[in-house]
Structure 1
Amino acid sequence: MAAPGSRRARRDVDPLEAPKGLPRGRRRPTGRDVLGRFSESFARAMGTSAFLIGLTVFVAIWLIWNALAPEQAQFDPVSNGFAVMTLILSLQASYAAPLILLAQNRQDDRDRVQVEQDRQRAERNLDDTEYLAREIVALRLLVRDMASQDFVRSELKALLEELDRREVAREAEAASAEEQDEPRREPDRRAARP
């Protein structure tokens, strides 16, 4: 397990290195951060139905205008095979692919950090669970060795019966001792009378 101050032990690790000494929320954005954020927003925007509808409407208007407008008003005539539109769409595609890949790489970095944090959290949970299991076993052993209420009652009854027997035995001994002492005392009393 990583030491508390190390990069692996931190929970707020950003996939891109933060400049040392600056708090996470106040660091200066680097060119890589700006480009990464732009690529993520670009990829996010290109993945929407609004982008597809907007691009379709743009291309349809472009094609209709250049096909049906008078020749002086056409800026990308049909006779040239819509060369300008082809160039624009090719440029859009050539920039979109790398930006989407860059956004995916940043997401992979974040996912990797999240997986590491989840693994560390799972290790801590496993350690806590094992500790609690050991404590429960120790408590079970202690409870098993403890006397139950019925056991204590039966022991107390046995002790009371034993005390009663001893008391009865003492009384019987005392009574028999008195009987043995009485005949001896009677002759002495007779002798003392005359």
Structure 2
Amino acid sequence: MAAERESTRERTPAGATASGRPRAARLDQPRPARRRLLPTWDPDAFGRLSERIARFLGTGRFIVWMTVVIILWVVWNITVPRHLRFDQYPFIFLTLALSLQASYAAPLILLAQNRQDDRDRVNLEQDRKQNERSIADTEYLTREIAALRTGLGEVATRDWIRSELQDLIKELDDRHAVDGHGRRPGVFPADRPHGRDMDDR
């Protein structure tokens, strides 16, 4: 029996099940790389390179260097002997080089602008979400402060209690009659003079 199992296992391919159908691709494993006829590249790396080139093309250094090269090119092809000239008078090779440079510079600049637009769009979206969160937090804090003010309006403060006690003391003092010595008795019974009251006689 063991020998039959081994032989059956050897005849069954690795990608097939017992029913003979191939297994479905596993989701926990990367798919094998496909062979492509065209060369592959990293779009992000190419985009960064295009941004560097576009940033350099937009500087004064590039304009100065290009002007120096063109002047040297024209002066060389005019002043040196004829057998050393590589681009004579209508300067067709120079015109071709400048046209080639312009044809490559325009798409690189557009690519750099598109990448910058994508970054600006993402930044604007993040700023919008941050502003929404800030507005929500501000509204929540405003409601909490209003609730605290409402709650504090119903709480007795120290000044209010002091004024109420002073009014109560004044009212109690006014209710007591003046005693025989011309003094008003105290508010509390302990403050009254010892002995029998005048009313008890």
Shorter-chain TM-score bucket reads: 0.5 to 0.7
Q: Aligned pair 1:109/2:118, yes or no?
A: yes
Alignment of 1:48-63 (within 5 A): 48-63=59-74
Distance in 1, matches of 2:75 and 2:174, equals 119
TM-score normalized by the length of structure 1: 0.67
Deviation per CA, 1:43-95, whole angstroms, max 9, x where unpaired?
Answer: 001011100000000000001101111100100011xx111111110000000
Alignment partner for residue 152 of structure 1, among 154, 161, 172?
Answer: 161
Q: Aligned pair 1:126/2:115, yes or no?
A: no
TM-score normalized by the length of structure 2: 0.65
- Identity over aligned pairs, percent: 51
Deviation per CA, 1:132-155, whole angstroms, max 9, x where unpaired?
Answer: 111221222233333344422221
Higher share of residues assigned helix: 1
| 1:43 paired residue number | 54
Give the superposition deviation at 1:160: 2.4
| 2:20 paired residue number | none
Unpaired runs of 5+ residues, structure 1, are 1-29, 180-194
Alignment partner for residue 101 of structure 2, among 92, 98, 103?
Answer: 92
Deviation per CA, 1:98-146, whole angstroms, max 9, x where unpaired?
Answer: 0000000000000000000100111111111111111221222233333
Q: What SS does the corresponding residue of 2:50 show, helix, strand or coil?
A: helix
The amino acid across from 1:110 in the alignment is R
Unpaired runs of 5+ residues, structure 2, are 1-40, 178-184
Distance in 1, matches of 2:163 and 2:134, equals 45
Taking only aligned residues, the RMSD between alpha carbons, in angstroms, comes to 2.3
| 1:136 paired residue number | 145
